[in-house]
Amino acid sequence: AQKITQTQPGMFVQEKEAVTLDCTYDTSDPSYGLFWYKQPSSGEMIFLIYQGSYDQQNATEGRYSLNFQKARKSANLVISASQLGDSAMYFCAMREGTGNQFYFGTGTSLTVIP
Amino acid sequence: DAGVTQSPTHLIKTRGQQVTLRCSPKSGHDTVSWYQQALGQGPQFIFQYYEEEERQRGNFPDRFSGHQFPNYSSELNVNALLLGDSALYLCASNLGPPGSSTDTQYFGPGTRLTVL
């Protein structure tokens, strides 16, 4: 079974609007971390936001927030007030408590339309 | 604060050749992981080094090997290159040890390997 599933290959959003990128995960480990990375065409993976499995509140980092629904095993990324520079690939990743290996999804390509 | 650096940026090899990719971790980090990212896919974990030893390994053949030096920098070696090894190779670093770290992995810009 896939550890991380991203079901949206591509998304479009109007500039200044909010957008939600979906991510579901699969693990039996009670301790895990969920991450979102942005990958522009240059290739570098840029860390955006982290959510720990025991965190009570949803993580927020500036315009990024993580909608963490533990029972549904989902960790959706919400980008508010989209900017043209937000156009990139977005990857959801998980690290299980037993190691530092990251499991990545297949990514979502976000295009911000002026 | 220096981030993760990788060299070279791009590399072109032919089938059967061998290649070495290099990575310097972010300042203060001692654990290095390598990932392979094929076109249109998410990164796949190759292996992780901590205290100059391979600590975890993904589902990659023995043609993929690595090394970590006392200064925490790392090399990824791939022998007998195949066309399917063409990919972006990403290095990531964090503060170890493996299994107990809560630190985020920070990635370098990658090395794009093309095998002809």
pLDDT digits (tens, 9 = 90+) for B57-108: 999 999 999 999 999 999 999 999 999 999 999 999 988 776 665 678 999 9
Structure confidence at residue A96 as a pLDDT band (50, 70, 90): confident
Angstrom distance (rounded) from CA B87 to CA B30: 25
Which of A42, A100, A106 lies at the smallest CB-CB distance from B42?
A106
Residue B95 confidence (pLDDT): 84
In chain A, which among 65-84 make CB contacts under 8 A with chain B?
none
How is residue B115 written in tokens?
């095998």
> With an 8 Å Cβ cutoff, is A103 touching chain B?
yes
Pick among A8, A23, A36, A102 to test the B interface (most B CBs inside 10 A): A102
For chain B, what is the mean pLDDT? 93
